[in-house]
Amino acid sequence: MSYTIDRYEGAKILGCSTRTIDRHISAGKIRSKRVGKKVFLHDEDVQIIKNGGIQEDYIVLGSDGQMVTSHEESNFVRRPVMVDYKQLFDEAQKSIERKDTLIQELSYRAWQAESELKNSISMIEYKKATMLLESSKMHSEEERKNLEEKIGEISQELTQKNITNVLLMILVSVLFVVAVILWFFAL
């Protein structure tokens, strides 16, 4: 598979605009590959569209199973490919219906498993476990509040001790200065 034709060359080959090339790409008529900022087109797809949407290279087998070399010798009639949108729509509808049925079945199985799980634990045990869980949540919340209060008290005590230490340092410094001054005058 080769992607050697860029959009501009493809437009020249097909005699159309690059916008038309973009439409062919989005419609899936031309395979494309992006390399950096450039878009390259599949060579075979461009040639198929250039030939009117019908691929020229094909093999025709005769009634004896041998390959027929010229198309005139065979009873092969070339017809344009037509898409049956109604058939595609019907197939899509059937696929959707199958998937919906599968989803409903899986939902039912999930509900059934959930109800079996609920019924496997007695209601008393379930309520007891729920109550224990709630009480542990409340207990942990109370502990958190108590710890926060203790942290606040300790922080307040630490702040008071720091202030006391600073005041004592100032007092000691003042006393030292006074002692030095008295000693200086005493000499």
**What percent of the chain lies above the pLDDT cut of 70?**
81
Taking the domains of the chain in order of start, what are their residue ranges?
5-73
Per-residue pLDDT tens digits for 172-184 = 999 999 999 999 8
Q: Which amino acid is at 2?
A: S
Q: CA 144, CA 131: separation in Å to the nearest integer? A: 20
Instruction: Tokens 């498993």: give the residue.
Output: 113
Q: pLDDT at residue 8 above 90? A: yes
In this prediction, residue 56 carries a pLDDT of 44
Beta-carbon contacts of 78 under 8 Å, excluding residues fewer than 6 positions away, are 54
Question: What pLDDT is stored for residue 135 in this prediction?
Answer: 85
* Virtual torsion, Cα 158, 161, 167, 173, nearest 10 deg: -100
Mean pLDDT is lowest, of 21-30, 31-40, 54-63, 90-99, for 54-63
User: To the nearest whole number, what is the mean pLDDT of the chain?
Assistant: 82
Q: What length is written for the chain?
A: 187
Indicate the SS3 state at residue 19: helix
Average pLDDT over residues 10-34: 90
**What mean pLDDT comes out for the span 95-116?**
89
Q: What is the pLDDT of residues 124-150, one digit of tens each?
A: 777 888 888 888 888 888 888 889 999
What are the pLDDT digits (tens) for 44-92?
Answer: 889 888 887 654 444 444 555 555 544 444 444 444 555 677 888 888 9
CATH number attached to the domain at 5-73: 1.10.1660
- pTM for the model stands at 0.31
Find the mean pLDDT for residues 161-180.
94
88-99 as b/e: b if 16+ CB within 10 A: eeeeeeeeeeee
Instruction: Return the pLDDT at 66.
Output: 58
119 pLDDT more than 90: no
